[in-house]
Chains A and B, each alone.
Chain A
Amino acid sequence: MTRSIIELTSTAEDDRVARYAAAAIALTVAEAAIPLPLPGVKPGLANIVILVVLARWGWREAAWVSLLRVFAASLLLGQFLAPGFFLSLAGALASLLALAGAACLPKKWFGPVSTSIFAAFAHIGAQLILARLWLVPHDGVFYLAPLFGAAAVLFGLVNGLVAAALLRDQSSQEAPRP
């Protein structure tokens, strides 16, 4: 038997990213089963995972998890390189930029909820712009912008609250109060 020449060693960071990405992918696939009133309006539950990773491990790992999720979930759902994939990718990239910006806000005043809402707006904004430039070359796509915005506030708030609750519980587990 020949020994394998390629040896892959994973760091603790790799394992962490893989675990979080798996959770994000599972949430995306589960979410795809929920019937939705409007195409484009989604809870975006995977973003809860991204928010937790951002707060605990920083932007770089959040970016890894986010992009792994986009690629892997689209492969699982049979959407890879379909229009939906590019919309998803554009949304994820824009959210990551927003997350980088939101991370600079003072922690005392702005928590995961703010971060989540900023990311949700960036997400839907990038998707609308890409849809306008590429899929629907007409300003009619913006007709739904107010609804998408309302969804961004609602789901941004809910996801942010869940992420905040998870972060609080995690930190209280690590450092139990006397």
Chain B
Amino acid sequence: MPHSISMGTWRLWRELLRPGDWVVVLAGLAACAAAGFWFWRGGAPDGVTVRASGKVFAKADLSRPRRIEVPGPLGMTVIEIEPGRARVASDPGSRQYCVRQGWLARAGAVAICAPNEVSLTLTGRGVDYDSLNY
């Protein structure tokens, strides 16, 4: 060994790291933190709650595909459920925000069709907050 032990083990190892290596290590740790934030918040949904005019209209699980038709002041809102996810398939409202949200697949996710007073919420364990209030 060309280096003496008295230099200190820490310094010996640190010499092997080049400036970019530090960046890569930190980027790797950041990627882990991001993955933890992404995969560990919420969790997998296990059911949906459909509300119309503020009252619970239907509760369903996400195990099999089905369609739920919800009447509102403007007409019929159609909720579509597939295993593990749900969406508003069609809505009579003018702006279509809730339809354009697409598939919801995380516990706590909410789609609201305000003009027709219909909302779709995914339920599940470990929901600390809903996606609106957050």
Contacts and interface: CB of A to CB of B under 8 A. Distances in A.
Interface of A: 105-106, 108-114, 117-118, 121, 139-140, 142-143, 145-146, 149-150, 152-153, 156-157, 160-161, 164-165, 168-169, 172, 177
Contacts of B20: 105-106, 109-111, 114
Most chain A Cβ neighbours within 10 Å, of B2, B29, B39, B44: B39
Given A108-B18, A109-B18, A117 B39 contact: no
Given A139-B44, A165-B16, A172-B2, 6 more contacts: A110-B21, A113-B18, A117-B24, A142-B39, A143-B40, A177-B2
Interface stretch (B30-38, B54-62, B74-82): B30-38
Nearest to A153: B28
A169 B31 CA distance: 32
Contacts of B44: 139-140
Where chain B touches its partner, the secondary structure class is helix
Interface of B: 1-2, 13, 16-21, 24-25, 28-29, 31-33, 35-36, 39-40, 44, 84
Contacts of A108: 18
A143 B16 contact: no
